[in-house]
Amino acid sequence: MKIEVLYPEICTLFGDKGNMKYLSQCLPDAEFVSTELNDKPLFLQEEVALVYMCSMSEKSQELILSRLMQYKDEIAPMLKEGRTLFLFVGNALELLGSYIQREDGSKVEGLGLFDFYSVRQAPNRFNNLMKAKFKDMTLIGYSSRFSHTYGISEDISFCKTEIGKGMNPDTNDEGIYTGKLIATYLLGPLLIQNPDFVHFLLAELGWPMDKIPYEDAMREAYAYKLKEFAKPELELS
CATH number (domain holding residue 106): 3.40.50.880
Judged against a pLDDT cut of 90, whether residue 229 lies above it is answered with no
Mean pLDDT of the chain: 94
pLDDT digits (tens, 9 = 90+) for 127-143: 989 999 999 999 999 99
pLDDT value at 81 more than 80: no
* pLDDT given at position 236: 60
Q: For residue 59, what are the contacts with CB-CB under 8 A and spacing of at least 6?
A: none
Q: What is the residue type of 68?
A: L
Q: What is the CA radius of gyration of the chain?
A: 17
Q: Is residue 94 in a domain?
A: yes
Look at residue 234 and tell me if it is in a domain: no
| Percent of the chain surpassing pLDDT 90 | 88
Domain count, the chain: 1
| In contact, 189 and 18? CB cutoff 8 Å | yes
**pLDDT value, residue 12:** 87
In a domain, 158, yes or no: yes
The per-residue pLDDT for 235 is 66
Please calculate the CA angle 221-138-150 and round it to the nearest 5 degrees.
Answer: 120
For residues 152, 156, 158, 163, the Cα torsion angle rounded to the nearest 10 degrees is 50
Range of the domain at 8: 2-229
Residue 49 has pLDDT above 60, yes or no: yes
**188 band by pLDDT with thresholds 50, 70 and 90:** confident
Q: Among 23-27, 79-83, 147-151, 199-203, which is the least confidently predicted range? A: 79-83
The pLDDT, as a whole number, for residue 234 is 67
Q: Does residue 236 lie in a domain region? A: no
Q: Is residue 159's pLDDT more than 60?
A: yes
Residue 122 has pLDDT above 70, yes or no: yes
Type of residue numbered 2: K
